[in-house]
Structures are given as structure tokens and as C-alpha cells.
Amino acid sequence: MIIDCHGHYTTAPAAHTAWRASQLAAFREGGRAPAYPAISDDEIRESIEQNQLRLLHERGADMTIFSPRASAMAHHEGDERVSMEWARACNDLIARVVGLFPDTFTGVCQLPQSPGAPLDSSAAELERCVTELGFIGCNLNPDPSGGRWTSPPLTDRYWYPVFEKMTELGVPAMVHVSASCNPVFHATGAHYINADTTAFMQFIQGDLFADFPDLRLVIPHGGGAVPYHWGRYRGLADMLTKPPLNEHVMRNVFFDTCVYHQPGIDLLFEVIDTDNILFGSEMVGAVRGIDPETGHYFDDTKRYVDKLGLPDADRAKVYSGNARRVYPRLDQALRARGL
């Protein structure tokens, strides 16, 4: 079985996106959002069957861990109430996708974060999505300000309400920023990679996993710049008198394979232990074109992993075993289906 740990609903029906625009316009005018539109099952099916489902089958994968569109979370827009309304609408839509395609998609939720706001509502929405909608994890934005970086580091107690709820429910988070409102940071080319790298360094500097030894966090996009600068981070951990990275961080942190060229995948697997790598593509996502050097889509990451020629045991870990270990609720659901 091949599980893609990183998928977003980037093809959501137009009415969903239009409602968001109306919601934000109403906020700016001091009013309330209009009623959420009626979206038919057929509209959802069409948006999935012609996109994620088709590509998943063409590329040889079986299941996607699916969440709302990351760039559209936009926690810097509106206020805490607006973020709560938007998160619930997005999460309920993901639940409908999962309900229509239960063998192919499993849900991960967006949290209603807002710059400077407490995280109690985020913990509550996570609990709703896990206990009522059957979701298996969440996306956690380390920078709700959208490129201004006004939040404390992820090791600060500010984040503990979410970490406590994650631990209670036994679910992981993918550390994933959203859109950038800062022109210095291109969203997918700079802001995303910056956030991945920044989160990892925060984990080195702090002692988060002493307080949460069972916490599991996925850093996407191949860990940002981390594998490429692994020696730097090992050296910094030593200078900060922290334990070696494999003890201090890597028991709790995992990377995906959303790296869009063969040399990058080669480096990822050379540097990072196979137990810490989950297959992912972020399809249909940040980079959608065809690589003129290969003739294949940049985000067809299975081709790169296949070319590694991994031993069968390592291949099984990367394609499914690690995802089932990091997302135990997914493992439970698959076992219930005899998989």
C-alpha cells in the first residue's frame, strides 16, 4: 500500500472559494458572513475525480492524507471569529470528500489560528474533527501572521494547548504555514521552506519533547533546508549543549518526500534515517508543471523514490509503514478494514 501523507484540497468547488471572499469582504465592512453555499456531492466528486483521484491512480498510489488548501488558511486575514468560521467550513468540506471517497482519502484538519489569539479554539476544533469527523491529525501554522513571524517559537508554552490536545487524542501535526502577506517571502518558494527550516531550529533550541515525549510532528517539503545543512544543525546542537539530534529531535520529527528533483531526494535519503521519512507529493499543489528535463510532473515524487532502489523493508516503511506509525488513527482504521 502507498500512502501519500501530504495532500491539500486545492481544487475545491468555486462556491467554497467565493464564500471565503464574501466572508472577508463582510468582515472588512463590519458585517457578518453570508450563509455558506450549498455544494452538491456531484460538484465535489467532479473536483476530485478529475484531479487528485485521477493523478493518484496514474502515479500508482493508494491513499492521501488530505487537508484544506494550505495557502488558503490565511490565518492573518480577519480575526479569531473569522478564522473559526473558515476552519469549520474547510474541515466540513474535507469530511465530505472523505465520506465520498473513504478508501482513498483520510482527513487532516485546519486549525482556526489567529495572530496573538489563544489556542483554546484550535484545541477544541481539533477535538471536534478527530472525535466527530474521524480525522487523524492537523496542520499547525507556526506563523499565523503570514510572514511577519509575530508568534513565539513552537517550543514556547503558548503552543501547549494544542500539543496537549494532540497528545490526548494521539494525533500528529504537520507544521505547515499558509499564505505570505510579506512581499519579501514568496509563499511557496521562500515562506514555506523558511518555515520548515525555522521550525526545526526551534526544536533544537528548546526542550519541547521532554515535556511531550510522545508528540509527533511532520515537517513537510523534505524538511526545508535541513537535510542540506545537516552538519550545521548537528554542530549547533553541540554548541547549545543539546543531545545529538537523533535523541533530541528525531524521535519526534519526521520529513516528507515533497522534494521535486532526483538529486534532492537522493540527498534526503542519504542524510535522514529512513524511519523518519514519509512518502508525500503535495499533489495537486505548489509546483504543478512538467519538468522539461525529465518530461514528468515535478510533483510526481514516487518516480524519484522508486529510482532509489530501496530495500523492500525500507520501501515499505517510506510508502506506508512510517505513515501508519506517525498517524496511529489511520493505522487503526486500515486494520479495521483488514489492511
**Which of 214-235 are b and which e, b meaning 16 or more Cβ less than 10 Å from the residue's Cβ?**
ebbbbbbbbbbbbbebbeebee
Catalytic residues: 282
Q: What is the DSSP letter of 290?
A: B
Q: Cα(193)–Cα(175) distance, rounded to whole angstroms?
A: 11
Q: What is the DSSP letter of 274?
A: G
Question: What value, to the nearest 5°, has the Cα angle with vertex 108 and ends 300 and 184?
Answer: 65
Q: What is the CA radius of gyration of the chain?
A: 19
Phi-psi region of 173 (alpha: psi -120 to 50; beta: other; left: phi over 0): beta
Query: Please, are residues 19 and 89 in contact by the beta-carbon 8 Å criterion?
Result: yes
Q: Cα(66)–Cα(24) distance, rounded to whole angstroms?
A: 25
